[in-house]
Structure 1
Amino acid sequence: MARTLNKLSLIWILLSLALTACHKTAPTTATGQWADYRKAYNFLNKNKDSAFYYFNRSATNSSDKAQVALAYQNMALIQSDAGDNYGAQESLTLALKSLDENDPKNRGHLAEDYNQMAITFSNLSDNAQAITYYGLALQYADDPQLKSYFLNNQGNAYKDMKAYTKALSSYNAVISIVGRKGIAYARVLTNLAITKWLQNPRYNAAPELLRSLSIRLQEKDVWGENSSYAHLSEFYIDRQPDSALWYAQKMFNTARRLKSPDDELYALRKLILLVPKQAKLFFQRYQHLEDSLQTRRAAAKNQFAVIRYNVAQSKAENLQLQKKNEERRYQLITVSAVSSLALIWTIWWYRKRKQRLQLETENKIRESKLQLSQKVHDQVANGVYRIMSEVEHNSDFDKSHLLDQLDSVYEMSRNIAHDETGSDGDFTERVSTLLNAFKKTAIRLAVSGNEPGLWQPVSAFAREQLELVLQELMVNMSKHSRATQAYIEFTLEEDSLKIDYRDNGIGMSNQGKKGKGLQNTVSRIKALNGSIKFENQNEKGLHIEIQVPIEK
């Protein structure tokens, strides 16, 4: 249910930012310094990529620190909603750098930034760090309603850490602020009841959960309804399975109406457990939805990175263009001030420069022709000569063999004409791209041996399978290992390809028991008649050795 609550947090902070932006005096013309920010805000509920692009432009180009902080805040919201929590943390860090902690006007922004930073850590299951940032958010929160919201989030973090007494203290503090009615009370009442039940499994949380649901239905809080359905299904799953199933179905239908894939996945997990006869059908839907969600979020992360790169590059190009314009302006002033002799010298210099550029162009063309001529001579001509010699000295020359030889020369000629390279380099690049996608600040990944010649003797099928295996190792490293350093070495031996993976993470908690991904990895290696060994040492991380035979 963390995802549903995060949705509510995003809505709340967006409203806060909207109010802040409305009270900020900003130009109304399209050429004003707030123009990019206003464009981004208009795109916020229509096209998140466009909104992110203009917020990034606003943050990058504006000299107004308040605008920069607001832009980065909104970028972080978009990233967090797309599952890019690390990217959101980076944006929030930049927002905080733009705010003066001693300026009373910045207190609200600081509180919102620290709260959102805490939410990203909660999403990453680092609740201890989340609680630290919730404390900072509360330190700068002056608005009682905003403070109650932060306290509720703090209680959720304590609950996830099983610090139930501290969680209940936070929730009770919320009730003292919001009272005992309304959507805010319904939200904290649900969290309070669930925490009491988690603390004491014999506690009957149903009356409070049903009261919360009743308030949300009355207030038409659909997102809140979904949260209540989830908690009621969780509470009843062992006590009254029929009731648990009913609420799980309600959550499933509501999640689909809200178009919330995370909540739909949560409901599907309950339905798989509660309806064994339809488990296969629900699992197929679950698997399809999870795969599409992961793909969409991975694409969003890449898109955010591309947008940031493009904006930075555009700014650099604009600065360079401004510099060139200033140089040209200075040159024009200088030329207009000098005598006719200087003007003649300028014309002479321009002609010499043009001749030099033309000469350089001609040299490049000649060099290109020479390289092409060398390729034709070394590859095509020598190949033809070898065939001629073979035909001349071999009276029993096989016609089909001749055709094969000519076809080889033809392919060689075609590659030269199209300036193509072999498939080995392409696959090496694919492997490099795959591994580089998982490099980040928290994990240092070193790669050795990924050279074009390495993959040449490996079959296309084996390459395809090994690419999937490498991807699974990278996913396992990124999501579960908690490693700070990892190393992959590729070695080509006489009759086999060896892949050696090591990290300094936590290893495998249960030796011999592997997740679905690693089971698939073992199956793929076996399909290649290869071997895979797992060496788990809790203090030294994980070591995986893969060896695949090469067909000759």
Structure 2
Amino acid sequence: MANIQQINGDYYGSKETLTEALPYSKINNSYMSAINNSFGIADKELSIYDDAIFYYNQAIKVSQEQIDKQSPLNNIAVVYIKQKKYDKAIKILEGILETKAFDNFIKSKARVIDNLGFAYYKKGLNKKGLLLMNESLDLRKKNDDVYGSIESYLHLAEFYSQTDVQKSNEKAKKAYEIASQLNSVDERLKALTFLISNGSEVKYGKKYIAINDSIIKVRNNFKNKFAKIKYDSKKEKDENQILRLEKAETSLALQKAHYQKIFFIIGITSLFLLLLYLRKFYENRNRIEKIKTAYDTETRIAKDIHDELANDVFNTITFTQTQSLENESIKETLIQKLDHIYSRVRGISRENNNVDIKTNYALNLKEMLSTYNNEHTNIIINNIEKVNWDLIDEIKKVTIYRVLQELMVNMKKHSQASLVVVKFDSNGKTFFIDYTDNGKGCEKSKIVKNGLQNMENRILSSKGTITFDTEPDKGFKVKITMPK
């Protein structure tokens, strides 16, 4: 049941069903290995990578045969690639290929070779990576591993996307064709992503939207249908059990007290299980709501930027069509309009580009904050060097960068502040950030969530805290506390 839920994209539901399977895992270690591996797959698809690695390692621990350890080991390597820990992934995959018994499992071996080649490519060893990815594809073709070849084509499409767009499109189209034949929706979407990013026809964008919308509806319907099936099945079992007990009670009056005791125990157990289920249900729902809130907020911001920028471009095009560009003053006006659009585009790019979390993190963070310094607003940055950024987790660095960026954007749009102070501090296990501006502020009860809610979700997901302090005409203050 859990595997069926995973195939249909219901990973949270799959984890709940796997929990129900745990009591039966004591029968055989292979059951426990399979359950832990499935837990790992669900967490990998939900991007909970540390939990995924934990479950894969648990699967390895209970595996009695060396060959049974290869699948979870390969899965750990895939997670490391997603985390950009390419050296760790390469070490694991090379170790798997050294296992002699593994030579008898051609399809699995081809998968490992492909992942190893992809890891080499991501590390920058392009020639070695391309050789292994092509070797894997040939092996899959020879052994009629049609489904496995999809992953090979997708990896090759990503490889060529930086050097040969035509080849990248060829590989992506091949992956799309096979995925369509096998009705593999997620792989079709990945292939369309490469075709769109490579600048292919608009039709691929339309296909992506149509397929994505369709699969969301199908999977949502599946979740509801699956929950009802489980409910009906449990209800039928309970009703049959009650009927049997009632018949037994009628024919065996002397055992009435015994059956009453059984019913009492069943009732208490059912109540306990119901409370446990409700707790997990609401925890999952709150998590999904937070993710959805962040997604909706970012989508809204992206739409607003797109619409506003599109209006400027349209107005400029109209201006060129209705004015004589031979006139110097009109040419100057056109140049000013284009320069304004160029500045807007650079601003958008700066706010959404990748964050350098390596050695230049403090400098990049300071430069990002300083870009909001202008003739109307003075930005003061204190003690940024006081924090040892090398000791801080990479995800937390990205979180801090994005939260401060959103604070600065919020200040620029709403605050009308002339002075902004961002102060950093640190102790042994925690670092602190205090943001203060002298803008117009607002009543706490009337704070518009949107971006502020997004900031709060980011900080809470990294186990930090964030508090907002503001009053009308008394500025805006934010205090962030984050464990290292």
Common fold, TM-score beyond 0.5? Answer: yes
What's 2:120 paired with?
196
CA RMSD of aligned residues (A): 3.5
Take 2:172 and 2:209, find their aligned partners in 1: how far apart are those partners? 18
What's 1:534 paired with?
450
Contact 1:439 1:445 in 2 (8 A): no
Take 1:123 and 1:221, find their aligned partners in 2: how far apart are those partners? 23
| Aligned equivalent of 1:283, options 184, 188, 205 | 205
| 1:144–1:478 distance in 2 versus 1, CA, 3 Å | farther
Confirm whether residue 184 of structure 1 aligns to residue 131 of structure 2: no
1:213 Cα deviation after fit: 0.7
| 1:294–1:140 distance in 2 versus 1, CA, 3 Å | same
- Which structure 2 residues correspond to residues 120-519 of structure 1 after superposition, within 5 A? 120-177=42-99, 178-179=102-103, 182-200=106-124, 203-276=127-200, 278-279=201-202, 281-329=203-251, 440-443=281-284, 476-477=292-293, 509=403, 511=406
- State the secondary structure of the residue aligned to 1:125: coil
| 1:513–1:170 distance in 2 versus 1, CA, 3 Å | farther
| 1:117–1:166 distance in 2 versus 1, CA, 3 Å | same
1:289 Cα deviation after fit: 0.6
1:284 Cα deviation after fit: 1.2
| 1:141–1:444 distance in 2 versus 1, CA, 3 Å | closer
| 1:97–1:253 distance in 2 versus 1, CA, 3 Å | same
Confirm whether residue 98 of structure 1 aligns to residue 14 of structure 2: no
| Partner deviation per Cα, 1:174-207 (whole Å, 9 max, x = no partner) | 1012249822221111111111121226555222
Take 2:177 and 2:87, find their aligned partners in 1: how far apart are those partners? 34
- Higher RCO (Cα < 8 Å, 6 or more apart): 1
Contact 1:235 1:244 in 2 (8 A): yes
Take 1:303 and 1:115, find their aligned partners in 2: how far apart are those partners? 25
Normalising by the residue count of structure 2, what TM-score does the alignment of the two structures yield? 0.55
| 1:299–1:439 distance in 2 versus 1, CA, 3 Å | farther
1:296 Cα deviation after fit: 0.7
| Partner deviation per Cα, 1:351-373 (whole Å, 9 max, x = no partner) | xxxxxxxxxxxxxxxxxxxxxxx
Contact 2:119 2:129 in 1 (8 A): no
Q: Which amino acid aligns with 1:442?
A: E
Contact 1:164 1:195 in 2 (8 A): yes
Take 1:222 and 1:513, find their aligned partners in 2: how far apart are those partners? 50
In the alignment, structure 2 segments of 5+ residues that lack a partner are: 255-277, 298-398, 410-446, 460-464, 469-484
1:143 Cα deviation after fit: 2.9
What's 1:85 paired with?
11
Confirm whether residue 108 of structure 1 aligns to residue 30 of structure 2: yes
| 1:513–1:305 distance in 2 versus 1, CA, 3 Å | farther
| 1:440–1:511 distance in 2 versus 1, CA, 3 Å | farther
| 1:94–1:211 distance in 2 versus 1, CA, 3 Å | same
Contact 1:438 1:474 in 2 (8 A): no
Take 2:218 and 2:467, find their aligned partners in 1: how far apart are those partners? 30
| 1:291–1:321 distance in 2 versus 1, CA, 3 Å | same
| 1:288–1:148 distance in 2 versus 1, CA, 3 Å | same
- State the secondary structure of the residue aligned to 2:25: coil
Take 2:104 and 2:124, find their aligned partners in 1: how far apart are those partners? 24
What's 2:475 paired with?
none
- State the secondary structure of the residue aligned to 1:440: helix
1:226 Cα deviation after fit: 0.8
1:301 Cα deviation after fit: 1.0
Q: Which amino acid aligns with 1:151?
A: L
1:168 Cα deviation after fit: 1.1
1:234 Cα deviation after fit: 0.4
Looking at CA atoms only, which structure, 1 or 2, has the larger radius of gyration?
A: 1
| Partner deviation per Cα, 1:219-253 (whole Å, 9 max, x = no partner) | 11001111110000000001111110110111111
Take 1:209 and 1:89, find their aligned partners in 2: how far apart are those partners? 33
Q: Which amino acid aligns with 1:326?
A: A
1:134 Cα deviation after fit: 0.9
| 1:533–1:99 distance in 2 versus 1, CA, 3 Å | closer
1:322 Cα deviation after fit: 2.0
- State the secondary structure of the residue aligned to 2:281: coil
1:170 Cα deviation after fit: 1.2
- State the secondary structure of the residue aligned to 2:450: strand
Contact 2:121 2:130 in 1 (8 A): no
- State the secondary structure of the residue aligned to 1:220: coil
- State the secondary structure of the residue aligned to 2:28: helix
Normalising by the residue count of structure 1, what TM-score does the alignment of the two structures yield? 0.49
- State the secondary structure of the residue aligned to 1:310: helix
Say how many residue pairs are matched. 296
1:92 Cα deviation after fit: 1.4
Following superposition, which runs of at least 4 residues in structure 1 exceed 6 angstroms of deviation? Answer: 472-475, 478-481
| 1:302–1:315 distance in 2 versus 1, CA, 3 Å | same
What is the percent sequence identity of the aligned residues?
27
Take 1:296 and 1:248, find their aligned partners in 2: how far apart are those partners? 25
Take 2:32 and 2:72, find their aligned partners in 1: how far apart are those partners? 13
| 1:318–1:473 distance in 2 versus 1, CA, 3 Å | closer
Contact 1:186 1:215 in 2 (8 A): yes
In the alignment, structure 1 segments of 5+ residues that lack a partner are: 1-74, 333-436, 447-471, 482-505, 515-530, 544-552
